[in-house]
Structure 1
Amino acid sequence: MRADQGHEPETTGDERWDVFLAALAEHLAYGGGRGAAPWTEARSLYRFWFPFNTRAARVDAIVHAPASFRRRGVFIAPQELEVA
């Protein structure tokens, strides 16, 4: 099933990336003026995760991570999303 229809996508096999994708889906939905799909709400981490784990990247991500990522425990700087 396609995620754009509101159905939960299959797992990547790595909980961190599954949560990252939920945060990204929510971030893009709100940026496009739409609400997030219901499946995104259930995904979050118990331990913080920094996909780009250098000292500078961690500091930047703690301060500037978009809300959809931060509330799930994923810390990524906004400019890292622009590169993707």
Structure 2
Amino acid sequence: MQRDTPIRPYEPMTLVRLGQGLSAADDSERWRWVAEFLEEHRWEPAEVRPRLLGEEPTATGDAHWDVFLAALAEHLAAKDGRRAPAWAEGRSLRTFWFPFNTRAARVDAVVHAPAAFRRRGVFVAAQELEVA
């Protein structure tokens, strides 16, 4: 059996691709995109991971998710002992956002949100970033 299209080698998801996925997804799918990105990022060697974060994603159409991507870039870079990409610096929200908006989740996020998220007004508990 002959293939018409060549097999492309595996390429891990970048924040640019994650942003595109978030743009096209509905609320029920967005965290699956985030989980997939986190899983792929986690398995890449430390020297490859900065390339997954370096290019600025285009706007998702939702300021909350645009800021989330900046916080995620800073958070993951810091875990590797690196600085956040320059593009992430200016993104923040004017009002707090709790992606998981139950009373218990809000309390947990206020206490446990990583610094990169808190300083931008995104309150998501660290364990929510370990979904994969």
For the criterion TM > 0.5, the same-fold answer is yes
Larger Rg: 2
**Any runs of at least 4 consecutive aligned residues in structure 1 with deviations exceeding 2 A, and if so which?**
2-7
Partner of 1:57: 105
Question: By how many angstroms is 1:29 displaced?
Answer: 0.4
Partner of 1:18: 66
Aligned ranges 1:69-84 → 2 under 5 Å: 69-84=117-132
Structure 2's unaligned 5+ residue stretches are 1-14, 17-50
**Cα deviations across residues 12-35 of structure 1 (Å, max 9, x unaligned)?**
110000000100010000101111
Q: CA RMSD in A?
A: 1.5
Using the size of structure 2 for normalisation, the TM-score is: 0.59
Identity %: 72
Higher normalized contact order (CA 8 Å, seq sep 6+, divided by chain length): 1
Structure 1's unaligned 5+ residue stretches are none
Using the size of structure 1 for normalisation, the TM-score is: 0.91
Distance 2:114 2:106 in 1: 14
Distance 1:82 1:65 in 2: 12
Residue correspondences, number: 83
**Cα deviations across residues 37-65 of structure 1 (Å, max 9, x unaligned)?**
01111100000000000000000000110
